[in-house]
Amino acid sequence: MTKPRFYLTTAIAYPNGRPHMGHAYEAIASDVIARFKRLDGHEVRFLTGTDEHGLKIDQAARAAGMAPKAYVDQMVAPFQALDAALGISFDRFIRTTDADHKALVQALWQRMAANDDLYLGRYEGWYSVRDEAFYDEAELVTADDGARLSPQGTPVEWTVEESWFFRLSAYQDRLLALYDSQPDFIQPASRFNEMRAFVAGGLSDLSVSRTSFAWGIPVPGDERHVMYVWLDALANYLTGAGGLDGEWWPAALHIVGKDVVRFHTVYWPAFLMSAGLALPKTVFGHGFLLNRGEKMSKSLGNVVDPAEMAQRFGVDRLRWFLCREVAFGEDGSYSDEAIVERTNADLANGIGNLAQRSLAMVAKNLGGVMPVWGEAGETELRLKQAFHAGAEAYFAAMNSLALHRALDAVMAMVTAANGYFAENAPWALAKSGDTTRMAEVLAATLDATRRIVLLAQPFMPGSTSLLLDQLGVAADARDFNGFNTPVAAGTQLPAPAGVFPRITLDG
The CATH number of the domain where 425 resides is what?
Answer: 1.10.730.10
Nearest residue to 156 (alpha-carbon basis) of 139, 180, 176: 139
Residues 249 and 341 in one domain: no
Task: Report the alpha-carbon distance of residue 156 to residue 135 in Å, rounded.
Answer: 8
Residues 340 and 274 in one domain: no
- Model pLDDT, residue 79: 97
CB 203 within 8 A of CB 172: yes
Sign of the alpha-carbon dihedral angle for 172, 178, 181, 185: negative
Q: Cα–Cα distances in Å, from 450 out to 387, 467, 479? A: 12, 8, 12
CB-count exposure of residue 152 (10 Å: 0-12, 13-18, 19+): middle
Task: Report the alpha-carbon distance of residue 290 to residue 22 in Å, rounded.
Answer: 9
Residues 410 and 352 in one domain: yes
Q: List, for residues 165-182, the tens digit of each pLDDT value.
A: 999 999 999 999 999 999
Residues 82 and 229 in one domain: yes
Q: Which of 286, 310, 327 is the C-terminal boundary of a domain?
A: 286
- Model pLDDT, residue 159: 84
Residues 258 and 381 in one domain: no
Kind plus residue range of the DSSP H or E element containing 95: strand 92-95
- Model pLDDT, residue 106: 98
Residues 281 and 344 in one domain: no
List CB contacts of 349: < 8 A, sequence separation 6 or more: 502
Residues 346 and 272 in one domain: no
- Model pLDDT, residue 297: 59
Task: Report the alpha-carbon distance of residue 221 to residue 120 in Å, rounded.
Answer: 12
Could you say which residues of the chain have pLDDT below 50? none
Sign of the alpha-carbon dihedral angle for 298, 507, 347, 469: positive
Residue 313: inside a domain, yes or no? Answer: no
Nearest residue to 306 (alpha-carbon basis) of 339, 259, 265: 339
* pTM (global) more than 0.95: no
What are the beta bridge partners of residue 222? Answer: 219
At 16 the three-state DSSP class reads coil
List CB contacts of 10: < 8 A, sequence separation 6 or more: 26, 27, 30, 47, 48, 255, 256
Phi and psi based region of residue 49 (left: phi greater than 0; alpha: psi -120 to 50; beta: remaining): left
Task: Report the alpha-carbon distance of residue 488 to residue 491 in Å, rounded.
Answer: 6
Residues 404 and 256 in one domain: no
Domain that holds residue 88: 6-286
- Model pLDDT, residue 296: 56
Task: Report the alpha-carbon distance of residue 276 to residue 244 in Å, rounded.
Answer: 10
Residues 188 and 71 in one domain: yes
Residues 269 and 191 in one domain: yes
Residue 200: inside a domain, yes or no? Answer: yes
Q: Cα–Cα distances in Å, from 49 out to 98, 236, 246, 329, 339? A: 11, 9, 18, 21, 27
Here the CATH number for the domain that contains residue 60 is 3.40.50.620
Residue 302: inside a domain, yes or no? Answer: no
> Count of domains in the chain?
2
Residue 312: inside a domain, yes or no? Answer: no
Residue 226: inside a domain, yes or no? Answer: yes
Q: Which of 255, 286, 317 is the C-terminal boundary of a domain?
A: 286
- Model pLDDT, residue 127: 84
- Model pLDDT, residue 125: 82
Residue 230: inside a domain, yes or no? Answer: yes
Task: Report the alpha-carbon distance of residue 28 to residue 47 in Å, rounded.
Answer: 13
Query: For the chain, how long is the longest CA-to-CA vector?
Result: 89
Q: List, for residues 210-251, the tens digit of each pLDDT value.
A: 998 999 999 999 999 999 999 999 999 999 999 999 999 999
What are the beta bridge partners of residue 219? Answer: 222
- Model pLDDT, residue 145: 85
Residues 154 and 78 in one domain: yes
Residues 120 and 231 in one domain: yes
- Model pLDDT, residue 34: 98
What are the beta bridge partners of residue 286? Answer: 257
- Model pLDDT, residue 52: 97
Residue 298: inside a domain, yes or no? Answer: no
Residue 291: inside a domain, yes or no? Answer: no
Residue ranges of E strands in 27-91: 44-50
